[in-house]
Structure 1
Amino acid sequence: MTLQHSSPIGRSQPRRLRIFMLLSTICIVGVVVNTHWGSQRPAADPHDFRKASRRASTVTPVASAFNNEILQVAATEPTEPTSATQPLDVDVQKDPQQLALQTALNLLENGRERLKSINHYTATFIKQERVGDELTEGDVTEIKVRHEPFSVYMKWVETDAGQEMLYADGVNDGNILLKQVGWKSRLLPVISLDPHCVLAMSQSRYPVTQMGLLRLVETLITDRQNDLEKNTDLKCQLFDDEVCHERPCYRFILEYGSPQVSATYRKSDLFIDKELSVPIQIANFTWPESDWGADWGCEEMDDETLIEYYGYCDLALGTPLSDLDFDRSNEEYGFQND
C-alpha cells in the first residue's frame, strides 16, 4: 500500500508553492495600490511648498488704486446678478468687496482666452492634497499638456524620480499608463488604470482628466461668478506687487463666512501671473475640526486645514509639442517595457 504524501518533503512542495503564489499576489496588489501618484509616504510639513514658492513685496491689501479703500470689506448689500459678458457696475467707494471679486474674475477670463488661444504648454507642476485624513507629502513633476485632444504627460523629478504617467483622450481605452521605478518596476514595469478607479484615486482628490490650467481657470471663473451673483458672505483681499515662483503676481485671499456658505472651503489663497493672467499657485483650506484650539494663530490653522495646493513653475505657454509627446512609443519615455 502506498501512502499519499508520506514524505515531509513531498508534503512541503505544494504548500511552499501556495505560499509563494499568495505572497506574490499580495506584493502585486500592494504595488498597484501605492503607485498612481507615488508610494504611500509620510505627510509633509505643509509649509514646504507654499513658503518656498513666494515672497511678498507688500504686507497690506491694495488701497491706492481704489481711493484708499482697503479691499477687505464683507459684502452686506444684495447686488444684481452678473455674468462674464456683463461686468458689474460697481461703485468703488461703496463696494470695494465686489470690485476685488470682479477684478479676479476679469483676470481669470483674460487668462482663459489666452489658454484657449494655445494648444500646448509645459511646466513644473507641484501638487499637495489631503486625501482622506492624510496630507500627502506632495509631488513635483515635469508636465506636458495638450488641450485638444486632451493629453497629459508627467515625469516625477523628486520623490519617485523617474516615474512617468501618460494619458491621452481616446487612447489606451481611456486608461492612464504609469511607468514605475525602483523595486516595483521589476514586478510591474508599466501598469494601466482607469483614471476614475479606486486605485487610481488613492493618492489624488481629482482624476487626471480634470488636470490642467484651463480646467482650473474655468472652475475659478464659475466660483467667482457665483460669489458675485449670490452676494456670498465672504471677504476678499487683493495684494499687488507679489512674487510667486519668481513671477510678478496679483494675490487674492478669499475667506468664506461659515460652513453654511461653503461646506468644503474655508479659505483660498490665489496668485495670478500679471503678464500671463493665469493662476500659477493656489492653496485651498477647509474648516477646522470642532475641537480646534481658540488660541491657534492663522498660520497654524492653515497648516492644519490645507486640503489642496497646486503650483505651476517655469510655465511655457504655446510650447510646440507633437503627437509623439503623448505617445507611449516615444523612445524618451519608459512605457515600452510593459
Structure 2
Amino acid sequence: MPTSSMTRRLRTSANVASTLTLSCVVLGSLTNSLSVRADDAASVSHHAAKFGDSGNDRVSVQKIAVEDSTDQLAEQAIAELGLDNSNVIQQVSATSPMNSLSTKDALAPLMDAQGTAGNPKDHRSSPPIADHPLGWALGFARAHADHIRQHVSDYSCKLIKRERIDGELQTPQIMDVAVRVAQTNQTGDVSPMSVFLQYQSPRTLRDRRVLYIEGENEGKARVRKGGGALSYLVLSIDPHGRQAKEQSNYPITDIGFDKIMNRLIGLIEFDMETDPTGNNTEVTYFRKARVMGRPATHIQIVHPSKEGGVTFHRANAFIDDELHVPIRLEVYDWPTAEGDAPELKEEYTYADLKLNVGLADAAFASTRLKGKLKGPVGLTKTDLKVSPNAVAKD
C-alpha cells in the first residue's frame, strides 16, 4: 500500500466515473503519422526488478476478473488474450507526482519541466498547477488531449468490456473495433467520425455488427443483430434510445480517445474552481505500470466515503506511455458491507491497439453488415490494395 507521502488528496466531480469510460463506448443489446502497433504479449514475463528504480520498489499484481463469467465463449476468448493471467497488470510502487514533473520522467512524458501543458493561448482562470492538488492531473490530461488531437486520426483494437447493469455484473463482451476521427483534408472535404464494431462474444451477441457514421442515416446506427435466431437482420437504432441502453451504459456517439480527454479536462477545471480544498479524494500515481506488456502510467483515484455525492469509490486509469492513450479503465463502487471488497462497476481493456493505420472508406461500408464479413474489421487502404475484393460494392 502506498504511504501518505505518496498520495495526493483531491476533490473529483461526481461525473468522473462517466468520463473515465467514454472512450470505451459500444452500442448495447437489442432484443434480449505512422502506424503504431501495440505489443501482442499475452502476459508480462519480466521480473519486477527490471522495472524498479531501486531495491525497495514494491510490486502489485492483479488480474482481470472473470470469475462471474457464465459464457464459455467469453472465457475462452479471455484466456486466448491472456487476460486471465495473473501478470496481465504489473507495476512498481507509487511515486509522488510533485517529484515527477520532468520531461525525462516516464510519469509525465508529454509535460514540460514545470508540469504545465495544453494550449499556451488558453488564458482561462484555472488556478496555477503548482497551487492546486488537481494541477498535475490537469497538466497530464491537457498534454495527452493535445497529443491525441494532433496525432491520432484513426485506430483499431480489440475491446474487452464489462459493465454492471441494474445491479448485475454482465458477462464480458469482446469485440473488434475500428474508429476514424472526423477529418478535413486540404481541399476542404470532410470525413465524418465513423465507427464499425464486430462482437466476438458472448455467444448471444456473436457476429453482431454495428456501423455508425456521424451525420448519416438520420443519426442512427445500423446494427446487424448477430447471435442466434434472425442474426442476419439489420436495423436502424437510435444510439440514445431504449434499445441501445439495454446492455450498455454509454452511446456509440461518445466513442473516441479525444472525447474522454476533453471531458476529463472540463471536470478537473470545474473542480479546481469550485472545490479547491479536496476533502474526500485521494490520488496515487504509479510509475512504470504494465498492461498486457504495454508500459503505462497508472492513476488511481479513491473516494473514502460517499460524502458530497461522488459516484464511485475507486477508479483506475492506465495511460500508455508510448501511445499516449488509455489502455485500461476501471471503476469500483463502495463495498456493500464492512470488510467486503469494492464492487466492480465498469471495466475496459484495449488489446492489439493500432493507431493511425489508414482506415479505408470501405471499412465503414454498409455492405459489411451483410453476409460473411470480408477482411479485418479495421480494414486499411493497404489491405484493399492486397485484396481489392475485400468489400462488396453497394
Provide TM-score, normalisation by structure 1.
0.69
Give unmatched runs, 5+ long, in structure 2: 1-26, 33-64, 70-74, 101-116, 183-191, 375-390
**Which of 325, 349, 355 is the equivalent residue of 1:317?**
355
Tell me what 1:132 maps to: 166
Alignment of 1:1-338 (within 5 A): 36-37=28-29, 45=67, 52=85, 54-58=88-92, 60-63=93-96, 66=99, 85=122, 88-90=128-130, 98=133, 101-117=134-150, 118-148=152-182, 149-159=192-202, 160-185=205-230, 189-229=233-273, 230-231=275-276, 232-233=278-279, 234-288=281-335, 292-296=336-340, 300-301=341-342, 304=343, 306-330=344-368, 333=373
Larger RCO (CA within 8 A; separation ≥ 6) = 2
Q: Post-superposition shift, 1:293?
A: 2.4
CA distance in 1, matches of 2:254, 2:199: 19
Higher gyration radius (CA): 1
Judging changes above 3 Å, is the alpha-carbon distance between structure 1 residues 203 and 211 closer, same or farther for their aligned structure 2 residues?
same
| Unmatched runs of 5 consecutive residues or more in structure 1 | 1-34, 68-81
Query: Which string of whole-angstrom CA distances, capped at 9 and with x for unpartnered residues, describes residues 267-289 of structure 1?
Result: 2111111112221111112334x
SS in structure 2 of the partner of residue 294 of structure 1: coil
Q: Does the CA contact (< 8 Å) of 1:256 and 1:267 recur in 2?
A: yes
Residue-pair matches, total: 268
Backbone CA RMSD of aligned residues: 3.3
Please report how far the alpha carbon of residue 88 of structure 1 lies from its aligned counterpart in structure 2 after TM superposition.
Answer: 2.7
State how far apart, in whole Å, the 1-side matches of 2:137 and 2:84 are: 22
- Relative to structure 1, the CA distance from residue 245 to residue 130 in structure 2 (aligned partners, 3 Å threshold; closer, same or farther) is same
Q: Does the CA-based 8 Å contact 2:163-2:169 persist in structure 1?
A: yes
Tell me how far 1:253 sits from its aligned partner.
0.8
**2: CA distance, partners of 1:176 / 1:321:** 19
The sequence identity of aligned pairs, in percent, is 25
The code of the aligned residue for 1:90 comes to: A
* 1:247 Cα deviation after fit: 0.8
Distance 2:306 2:365 in 1: 44
The answer on whether the counterparts of 2:299 and 2:316 sit within 8 Å (CA) in structure 1 is yes
Query: Any idea what SS the aligned residue of 2:140 has?
Result: helix
Quote the Cα distance in structure 2 between the aligned partners of 1:64 and 1:228: 17
